[in-house]
Every structure is written in structure tokens, then in C-alpha cells.
Structure 1
């Protein structure tokens, strides 16, 4: 994309009150370049206010110029639009995916299978070690670890991924010209040196602000197939990430802790509400294995899977129902229609199949797990 097109995308993106939905509605009618070149009358007919027209035509110019200067300052600096071939495919499917991402580092790693590890900024030493060790083991299984570069669990997850010789993605709640927190600027440089990436939806000049971090969390979950929560209080930013993950159809996992430990209450509550309880890295891999296969079958991310663990010697239960579950998500009502089995009975069979590890629930229904 040349500078003229980027200028159009950035101008529309930075115009006040042009959110994701408005942006999407506008570009359904025309291209950003065509919109940017339109006169005021046409822009108002598209639904922009007088103030927005003024911003788009004049006031946003300096901010766009700063973004382009940052973009050209280094070959590591990228402005990735919805139309860019390296826009993360999983994130693009998520609700409210930003039309533009500012990326520093390797944009290609954003399309690799990712797992988010998040947790408390004030985690215990045990929690920090758990984050580091899980991240180290997961990257050795071909996953990219994604987190928010915050102090505590986030930083140790990034560091563990690097110690494991893998890649990690850090999503910031500020512009990439103002890496926050300052204590992690060295960590950010290590991420870039190891072919990872820093990501933000905010222009490079934007300073960190408390209201930015919940918005950042939806990108962390949107980039990832699953979110693993390690130590979280009952009112925690990590739980915001988990809620976004559920809204986006992602798997949520949590490591349990003592009922007397305030750092564990958020995780325990997530498990109570249906998050997968995990104790080991193998538990995590078991939870996401079919999701990895599903994303691969949907051509979302390239991935090599390890071998299935279902016992081949056992006969398949509920063969008629199972025969109608494949690599694409199938809802319960469709399964009932195909098999002529009452919905209530289908749901009971699905529950048993899920508990036995033959299928897994994903956004939109159920997919096959293990042998096909």
C-alpha cells in the first residue's frame, strides 16, 4: 500500500467517533482513498458530521504525518490495515477488530498459532515462575505466546517464551513510540531481536492511559486461540481479557489456587463459571489441540499438530452422531436434523463425546477431536 492510500486509511481511522463499525460501514460503500478524496457534501451524505468532515479534511493532517514518519523511520515499523496480507486472520474475525494495527517487528508471526498468557501485576513468585515455565514449554511446542507487556505475569510470560527459544507478541495500551512500562523497554527490544512483535491500535505518539488497557485486552484475546489466566484477583484486567475471549469464541483456561489466596480468586471464579481447569502444559495442549486443527482447516493459521491421543482400540461411541461432526463447526440443531435424533438426546450424547475427548465445543457448534 503506497503512502497515498495509507494517508486515506489513517485519516479516516483517526477521525473522532469513527469506530470499527462506522469504518466498516463506510468502506462497504467506497474505498478509504475515494472517501478521503470526496467533497464535503458527499462525506455528509455518507453520514459524517460537519466536525468529522473538518477533521478528515484538515485537522487530522499532522497526526497522519507523524504516523507516516514513524512508519518510514525503520524497516521494523509497519502500518497494517484490514487489507494488508499480514493482518492477523484470527483477530480479523473478532468483533471490533481495529481497522489499523501499528506493528513493530515481524508481522508474519501474527498469523502463527498464538496462546495468550495473562495474570496479576502483583503475582506471587510461584505465579511468576508458573508463567515463565508454561511459556517456555508452549513455545517449544510451536506456539507463539501473546501477552500485554505489563509487570508481573505478562512480563514473565514474554521472558519465558524468549528463554524457550520461541516467539512472543506484546500488545501495548499506548503507541509504540512510548513503550510502557519503562521497566520493560529492554524486554521489548529482546522481543524484537528474537523476531517477535510489538502491537498497538494506537498511533505511535499516544501516551499510556488507563482507559486504553481494557481495549488492548480484546486484541490480546483476539490474536490468540486461547487465553490462559495465571493468578488473577476477582476484579482484574485479566478477567476482562477472559470475557473478551469468550465473546470472541476463544477457549479460556485457568490455573486454580487456594480459596484463601486473593491472587487465585479470579482464576477459581473463572473455573466455577466454566473455564477449563489446567494443571500442566499437557492440559493446555489437550484443550487447544482441536482448536489448532480447526483453525488450520479454516486456513486461518499454518500449524503442525502432534499425534492424536485417543485410544484407537476403543469403539467409537454414538457413531451416527459422531459421523456428522467434522473439522467445521456444526450446531446442535443441524446435528439433530441430520441424525433425526431429538435435540435433548443430541445434547446428552454431545456432552459424553466431549467428556470422552472425541469432540470439542467451538464458536458455532462442535468439531471433531482425535481420529477422523
Structure 2
């Protein structure tokens, strides 16, 4: 059965597990080696430097990326902090004798709000943030923090989808769930909310990354959706402390976490200036592949998706083609080697080029706008993993086209 038909059949016939099989709530991972007081130095730094770093793609490295540990920061004088580029207001907060007490109060507020906390160096800290420029010092969460260890795709798009966009969100989210992928989104109106809801209806795992504190979700009408996500075994995550309300500046910063925590970004309907395109910019900076769902040529909400495809994003013209690019097999089917297919955006792009038609190194390099040597290395890696093969004349094929 062709992949597209098989996917539709699986979507129609999928049986949902009984509600009694869902993950219990709340989820509290048992890690005896973790001492919550170890978060206090990081909370001091987070309060001093602000609860978000990395304002825009391509911005300078964050303060916490200079290589100093918490003790190193806390030992610096005012003059030494100034030399590190710390602003006067930040230095004042960091050197305040009350800073440890204020951090303790923040920790108490975290417990009172029923939130969990992870910080740099914590065993639960997301692996994808370990070497990320501008990563936050701490993250607050509700739900299963181990949801971050599963393969995932961020699904983003307009807050005002057309019926076409809403249906696309449903189709792609269902396909990702059936393939065992976690769906990450931003709890916003429109495509974000649709992706979360469809994933829950299909009994999949979904992660909401908020542009506000978890106890002040935005939009407020999605508070019940947040509860459903957590109760369904998913995760709510934020870099903002209890009581912190959303503002126009929090959402672009939130988008960098959407890109960083996922293995790729899927855009469904985006206007010319859509915030979803900021997530794409972050994804490219972090070497995450980006897919875009094409739309009607006359729709203003197709402009953003069509533009990023012209600029090099991968085309997601169906759920089956997206899964094929990911190398994710549907139940009972073999496609590639799972998520190892797209260790980088360039590898994913090479595979998509070769799936259109077999080609030689020079032509692939021209399309990718890369040196022939770089492309030869990429092809070598893919060949070693059994995903492509070369034949007479130096023509490369994907293995599934053999």
C-alpha cells in the first residue's frame, strides 16, 4: 500500500487506549541525587541577568555563555562584572546582599505554584540546551520533564488559520503521533492550539513551551488546554518565573526554545510577518531542518511558507512525505534509520534532493549552495548509514529508490 494511503488508513483505524492507561498526574521524577537547593545560585543569576537571553537570531552570545560557573560569577566584583559586559542594573541585582534571600523566596513561590524546576547542570536539564548559545539559566515545568528526551517536531503557524490550515494541522499532527513523534508547540491560538489538541485526541505526547509563566498562561482561554496537556502525560515548560505575564517581547524569545528543543520545525500557514518565521530563523541558527506546508497561491497565509521554501526550507506536501524525510517508519513499514536521518538540516536537504531524482555531487552542491567538498562529506555520512548509495558515473540514489 502506498505510504500516503497507509497513513490515512492508520489515522482512520487508530484505536485510542483506555483513559486508565494514561500517565498519572502529577508526575514527579524520583532523582535522589538532585538537591533543589542547588538551583539557588542559578536563580540568583537568572534574577540578576533577566529571565531570558538571546533576543533575536544572530544576536551576541548570552552572558552565561562566557564559561564562568555560578561560583565564578558570584565571586566577581562590580568592576569585574562591568568588564564582562554586565549592565549596571544587572550588577546591582547580582551584588545585592538580599539576592540569596530573594532567590530562596522565588524557590518557595515555585513550590507554592506546584511547579518543577530544572537548571544548568541538573541531570534533568534538556540535552539539546547543553551547548546552546543564549540558553536560559533555569526552566520551570509542569508534567513529565522526561518528555523532552523523545524525538520531536515543533509545529508552528498562524494564530488565525483558514479551514485549510486547520485541516493541515490535524493531518500532520496525527501523522506525527502515529509515527511516535512528540509534537512541540507554543500554546498560542490557531495552529499551535490545534496541534496540541489533535495530539491529545490521538493520545500522543505534546509539549507546550510558553511565552509566560506556567501559572499565568497566555492566552488565558488556553488554561484548560494546558491542564489537558499535563494531565495527558505531556509537559508545560517556561523560562519565566511564577507570576510572570506575557508581553510582546516574550514570544520571539520563547520561539528560540521551540526550535532548540525540537529536531525540526514544521510551519503550517504563515503570513509575511508571522512570528512562526522567527522560529524558522532560530531553527536555521541551531542547524535544525525546517519544513513548510504549501498553501493556495492567492492566500496571504501562504506567503510566509512559500517564501521559506524558495529560500531553502524543505517542502512538506503531505504527512507521508514529511515522515519520509524524517526517516520515520509507520507501523509495519521500514523507512531509513529513524531520526538519525536528519542529524543536520543539510543532511535532510540532501535526502530530499535525491528523492526527487538521483543526482551527482556537483548538482547537489549547486542546489545547496555549498562547496563540493562539504557535500561529498555529507553524502559519505549518509552512505555509511545506509541511506544513500553511489553508482556508476558518481550518481547518488537514496536506498529506498534503489
TM-score, normalised via structure 1 length: 0.75
Q: Is 2:382 aligned against 1:368? A: yes
Match of 1:24 in 2: 65
- Tell me if the contact between 1:116 and 1:146 (Cα under 8 Å) persists in the aligned partners: yes
Change (3 A) 1:174 1:49: closer
1:295-329, Cα deviation, whole Å (9 max, x unpaired)? xxxxxxxxx9962369xxxxxxxxxxxxxxx9987
**Which of the pair has the greater relative contact order for Cα pairs under 8 Å at 6+ separation?**
2
| Helix, strand or coil at the partner of 1:368 | helix
Deviation of 1:154 after TM superposition, in Å, equals 0.4
Instruction: Name 1:347's counterpart in structure 2.
Output: 362
**Partner Cα distance (1:151, 1:60) in 2:** 37
Check 1:73–1:140 CA distance in 2 against 1; reply closer, same or farther (3 A cut): farther
**Deviation per residue, 1:264-303 (Å, 9 max, x gap):** 11111111212111121111112222xx79xxxxxxxxxx
| Structure 1: gaps of 5 or more residues | 294-303, 311-325, 333-344, 355-359
Going from structure 1 to structure 2, the CA distance change for 1:45 and 1:221 (only over 3 Å counts) comes to closer
Contact 1:79 1:100 survives alignment (8 Å): yes
Match of 1:11 in 2: 44
Inter-partner Cα distance in structure 2 for 1:157 and 1:328: 24
**Residues in 1 aligned to 2:332 and 2:137: alpha-carbon distance in whole angstroms:** 31
Distance 1:327 1:167, change over 3 A: closer
SS where residue 280 of structure 2 aligns?
Answer: helix
Q: Residue 298 of structure 1 corresponds to which residue in structure 2?
A: none
Alignment: residue pair count? 320
Q: For residue 307 of structure 1, what is the aligned residue in structure 2?
A: 334
Report the Cα offset of residue 86 of structure 1: 2.2
Instruction: Say if 1:86 and 1:110, in contact at 8 Å, map to a contact too.
Output: no
**What does the per-residue CA deviation read over 1:219-261, in whole Å, with 9 as the maximum and x for residues that have no partner?**
1011111111111111100111111111111111111112211
CA distance in 1, matches of 2:203, 2:153: 16
Structure 2 distance, partners of 1:47, 1:120, is 37
Match of 2:111 in 1: 72
Cα contact 2:210–2:236 (8 A) shared by 1:
yes
**Residues 323-334 of structure 1 correspond to what in structure 2 (within 5 A)?**
none
Counterpart in 1 of 2:19? none
Change (3 A) 1:305 1:98: farther
Give distance in 2, aligned partners of 1:224 and 1:279.
20
Q: CA deviation at 1:61?
A: 5.1
Q: How does 1:48-59 map to 2 (within 5 A)?
A: 48=86, 51-58=89-96
1:286 aligns with 2:324: yes
Query: Could you tell which deviates more after superposition, 107-116 or 88-97?
Result: 88-97
Query: 216-225 or 197-206, which moves further after superposition?
Result: 197-206
Which of 163, 168, 181 is the equivalent residue of 1:125? Answer: 163
CA distance change for structure 1 residues 328 and 192 in 2, over 3 Å: closer, same or farther?
closer
Q: Distance in 2 between matches of 1:274 and 1:349?
A: 13
SS of the aligned residue for 1:150 comes to coil
Question: Cα offset for 1:50?
Answer: 6.0
Query: Taking structure 1 as reference, are residues 371 and 50 closer, same or farther at Cα in structure 2, changes over 3 Å only?
Result: closer
Deviation at 1:349, TM superposition (A): 6.0
> CA contact under 8 A between 1:136 and 1:162: conserved in structure 2?
no
Report the alpha carbon displacement of residue 97 of structure 1 after superposing the two structures with TM.
2.1
SS in 1 for 2:306: helix
Measure the CA separation in 2 of the matches of 1:158 and 1:70: 28
1:251 pairs with 2:322:
no
Aligned with residue 264 of structure 1, among 293, 299, 302? 302
Equivalent in 158, 179, 192 of residue 217 of structure 2: 179
User: What's the Cα RMSD here?
Assistant: 3.4
